[in-house]
């Protein structure tokens, strides 16, 4: 707020009051939504992240657990998109990371990594290997080149003998200019074959814009499992067209980071349902209330045993145990569009104290500008005209709020 701007706003307040006009301001610099440079990382929007580790029962473990990604961005290791940063401040976004829980559960005897079966990996183009597409990093991708428009790009797993799988996860999709509003293209599918020649489609993959998508499928037995991506007709860049550039766009390939198959059930589209992006509820699918569920007797909350430096000293009971270290970090969303000096992190909408600090700081500025003419004497309203802060799915008080609303603990 420059001195000239303050004088002009104060004058506008006086004119509005003199003419009995209502006066309002946006909820933040820019139109969306509640953020600014005074919002600190602890007060900003959060999402949860996790890391996993397998332990063998009966063998004492003492060591540091893998640290979940502290990346400021939408999901796991995926950083906030560059264009989302450049529309506002050019400053480096902060990072913030806190542990939330450590859960251990005993794996069913038939739940083993499909990588142990060492399938052969092939593709319609590019160079892919099993390690690269199963390393757990959803941001480190390999490029799958386009085919002719309307034809399928593909990556395939070939097993020595037929195998049965019940779910899969995929990190890799084409992107479109307005996918935040319309969803991504629905050009992905899983197909299988017994001979590597004739394929049948098992399931299509919706146009979710979460970086990773998990699908539950009917138990499917085959030797060949092929992930397909139909090559799309290239989009005309509307911004280039508005600038008078007329270059002909070319078909695009896909950056593929992860392709995992599971022999046991998973929650269908859990990433969308967990609030990593806005999710439209659909009718019940193939999920069963009990199929593939882990018995509560095989789930242990180890949160109190996790030390501040991430180390754990624990001897698991018999069996193979999966450790899931749950933490939370920043989404990185900022108010926009605003001048760089007025751009900052969006406030945590799940934290009433953080929201109160945000509003008080924001209105104090206008209270000073108007000479304390807030309320009936001048500036009366704050308008939230368009919510474009996207997702958040964690706050420190969430477990307590969950218990208050549901009557039981968030953890077993």
Q: Which CATH superfamily is domain 109-293 in?
A: Galactose-binding domain-like (2.60.120.260)
- The Cβ of residue 344 has, within 10 Å, a number of other Cβ atoms equal to 24
Question: What's the confidence (pLDDT) of residue 241?
Answer: 66
In terms of DSSP H, where are the helices of 190-345? Answer: 238-242, 270-273
- The Cβ of residue 350 has, within 10 Å, a number of other Cβ atoms equal to 17
Q: Where are the domains of the chain?
A: 3-104+331-406, 109-293
Question: What's the confidence (pLDDT) of residue 377?
Answer: 85
Name the DSSP letter for residue 377. G
Question: What's the confidence (pLDDT) of residue 85?
Answer: 45
What is the pTM (predicted TM-score) of this model?
0.89
Nearest one of 156, 160, 170, 169 to 126, comparing CA atoms: 156
Q: How far apart are CA 164 and CA 110, in angstroms?
A: 11
Question: What's the confidence (pLDDT) of residue 182?
Answer: 82
Question: What's the confidence (pLDDT) of residue 412?
Answer: 81
3-state SS class at 303: helix
Name the DSSP letter for residue 379. B
What's the gap between Cα 91 and its chain centre?
A: 22
Name the DSSP letter for residue 32. B
Q: Which residues of the chain have pLDDT under 70?
A: 82-91, 237-246, 279-291
Nearest one of 79, 137, 147, 176 to 256, comparing CA atoms: 137
**Long-range interactions of 88-94: CB distance < 8 A, separation 24+:** 88/30, 88/334, 88/335, 88/336, 88/337, 88/338, 88/340, 88/343, 89/37, 89/334, 89/340, 89/341, 89/343, 89/344, 90/340, 91/340, 93/330, 93/332, 93/334, 93/345, 94/41, 94/330, 94/345
3-state SS class at 65: coil
Question: What's the confidence (pLDDT) of residue 86?
Answer: 46
Asked if omega into 94 is within 30° of 0 (cis), the reply is no
Whether residue 93 contacts residue 330, with contact meaning beta carbons closer than 8 Å, is answered with yes
CA distances from 160 to 186, 221, 262 (A): 31, 13, 17
Q: 375, exposed or middle or buried, with CB in 10 Å at 0-12, 13-18, 19+?
A: exposed
């Amino acid at each position: 707020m420059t001195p000239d701007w303050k004088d002009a706003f104060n004058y506008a307040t006086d004119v509005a009051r003199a003419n009995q006009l209502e006066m309002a301001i946006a909820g933040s610099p820019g139109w969306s939504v509640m953020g600014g440079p005074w919002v600190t990382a602890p007060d900003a929007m959060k999402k949860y992240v996790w890391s996993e580790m397998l332990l063998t029962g009966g063998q004492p473990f003492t060591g540091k657990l893998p640290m979940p990604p502290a990346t400021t961005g939408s999901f796991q290791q995926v950083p906030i998109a560059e264009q989302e940063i450049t529309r506002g401040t050019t400053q480096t976004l902060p990072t913030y990371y806190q542990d939330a829980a450590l859960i251990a559960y005993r794996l069913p005897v038939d739940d083993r990594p499909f990588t142990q079966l060492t399938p052969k990996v092939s593709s319609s183009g590019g160079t892919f290997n099993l390690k690269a597409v199963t390393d757990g990093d959803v941001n480190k991708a390999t490029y799958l080149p386009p085919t002719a428009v309307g034809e399928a790009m593909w990556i395939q797993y070939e097993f020595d003998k037929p195998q049965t799988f019940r779910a899969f996860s995929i990190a890799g999709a084409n992107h479109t200019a307005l996918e935040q509003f319309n969803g991504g293209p629905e050009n992905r599918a899983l197909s299988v074959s017994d001979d590597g020649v004739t394929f049948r489609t098992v399931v299509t993959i919706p146009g979710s814009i979460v970086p990773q998508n998990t699908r539950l499928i009917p138990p499917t037995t085959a030797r060949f499992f092929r992930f397909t991506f139909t090559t799309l007709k290239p989009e005309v860049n509307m911004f280039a067209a508005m600038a008078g550039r007329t270059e002909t766009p070319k078909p695009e390939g896909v950056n593929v980071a992860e392709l995992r198959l599971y022999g046991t059930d998973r929650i269908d589209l859990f990433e969308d349902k967990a609030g990593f992006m806005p999710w439209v509820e659909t009718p019940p699918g193939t999920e069963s209330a009990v199929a593939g569920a882990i018995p509560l007797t095989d789930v242990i909350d180890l949160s109190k045993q996790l030390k501040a430096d991430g180390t754990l000293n624990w001897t698991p009971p018999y069996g193979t145990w999966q450790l899931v270290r749950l933490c939370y970090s920043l989404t990185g969303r900022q108010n926009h569009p605003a001048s760089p000096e007025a751009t900052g992190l969006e406030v945590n909408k799940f934290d009433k104290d953080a929201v109160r600090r945000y509003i008080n700081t924001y209105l104090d500025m206008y209270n000073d500008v108007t000479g304390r003419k807030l309320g009936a004497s001048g500036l009366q309203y704050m308008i939230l005209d368009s919510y474009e802060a996207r997702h958040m799915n964690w706050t420190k008080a969430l477990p307590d709020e969950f218990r208050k609303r549901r009557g039981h603990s968030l953890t077993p």
